[in-house]
Amino acid sequence: MIGLIFFSNKPPTTSDETTATFKVDNIGVEKDGYRTWVSRFGLTGTNSVWTVDVEPDGIDNFTEYLFGGDPTKSDAASILPRSGMLNDTGFQGLEYVYRRYSDYEARGLEYTVECTTNLLIGTWSTNEVVVSGASFPIIGIQTVTNRISTAVEDEQFLRLKVEEH
């Protein structure tokens, strides 16, 4: 799982509650795509390990790789997924935007946005998630925009799953 976004139409009941969170939880293995990427940036030794944050900007090498970042630059704000509420032209919902390689399938990567209404007993599904657009690739990276309506459910959770095959 790469990120988890929480949406609620209900007002917070305590000052500690928030309506959006982002969590990076990486479990990965080194594959040829990752090794090639590491070599491209001249990373060697411990700096090439996928759990290391070289610059540091709070993002480990593997997450930088998945979102097309540069492990030698502090680029977290520009590469991490972002989300926000949308209320335009009759659509009320949550928009979730992430970056991926345009050749993600050839790299053995699969990016999937899923939603659920309950984190404890809910089932994650792509049924309500709509891919509303994908940008033209720039230097092999494209931006993918997903939407989910918030008109029906009081609370919803979104996550981006990135899997290697």
Q: Which CATH number is 1-24+80-165's, of 2.60.40, 1.10.287, 2.40.10, 2.60.220?
A: 2.60.40
At 19 the pLDDT is 40
Q: Model confidence over 111-157: pLDDT tens digits?
A: 999 999 988 888 999 999 999 999 999 999 999 999 999 888 888 88
What percent of the chain clears pLDDT 70, i.e. is strictly above it? Answer: 81
All structural domains of the chain with their residue ranges? 1-24+80-165, 27-78
pLDDT at 3 over 60: no
Q: Model confidence over 90-115: pLDDT tens digits?
A: 788 899 999 999 999 999 999 999 99
pLDDT at 39 over 90: yes
Range 29-36 average pLDDT:
73
Q: Model confidence over 61-100: pLDDT tens digits?
A: 999 999 999 999 999 999 999 998 888 777 888 999 999 9
Report the C-alpha gap between 81 and 145 in whole angstroms.
Answer: 10
Measured in Å, how far apart are the chain's first and last C-alpha atoms? 15
Report the C-alpha gap between 65 and 35 in whole angstroms.
Answer: 10
Report the C-alpha gap between 41 and 146 in whole angstroms.
Answer: 30
Lookup result for tokens 């594959």: 31
